[in-house]
Amino acid sequence: MAETSPSSDRIAAISLDESTVLARGPEVEQERAAALHDLAVDSHFRPLRAVDLGHAGPWSLRLAVVEGRLAIALRDHHGRDAGTIGLGLTRFRRAVREYFAICDSYYKALRKTSAKELETLDMARRGIHDRGARHLLEALEGKVELDHDTARRLFTLVCVLHIRG
């Protein structure tokens, strides 16, 4: 088993398979950029199998959708292939659909609604986002140790990968 320090149990870099992502609006692009930045600055991510095989972070990840599954390709701190984690996307579809719907309502409301209505929509948006993060935490249980904030940011990127133009 590889020895790791807390600073190695993080994401150093992350990218998306852009071939699976189509047209993105400015709001989605801003969310994507913020999630990528925040993951690189502050995350807790420890892929258990890769660590057991002698790899150590910080980790580089590449997210893609391959045959209806989320593929999380891992590279260790030396840039070596540390395996791929695959997750079925079916469990996320409802949360992603609801998240897109509430975000659409929220962004439209920014232009023409009261602060109270905007706050209500924002609370709903955060609630759906948290539920998606919990689904991701459950799906990765036994595969990756990660914290809630890291799961939230990764769920944002899962949503971006669902955009089909």
The predicted pLDDT at position 135 comes to: 92
Q: Are 101 and 163 in contact (CB under 8 A)?
A: no
More confident call, 64 vs 5: 64
The predicted pLDDT at position 161 comes to: 82
Euclidean distance between CA atoms 57 and 139, whole angstroms:
21
Tens of pLDDT, residues 91-146: 888 888 888 888 788 778 877 877 888 888 888 888 988 999 999 999 999 999 99
pTM of the model: 0.85
Tens of pLDDT, residues 7-28: 889 999 999 887 755 556 777 7
Tens of pLDDT, residues 27-75: 777 888 889 999 999 999 999 999 999 999 999 999 998 888 899 999 9
Q: Which amino acid is at 69?
A: R
The predicted pLDDT at position 99 comes to: 83
State the DSSP H helix or E strand holding residue 13, giving kind and residue range, or none if neither: strand 11-16
Residue 4, C-beta contacts closer than 8 angstroms, at least 6 positions apart? 46, 51, 56, 57
The predicted pLDDT at position 4 comes to: 47
Most distant CA atoms of the chain, gap in Å: 56
Tokens of 56: 């150590």
Say how many Å lie between the first and final Cα of the chain, rounded. 44
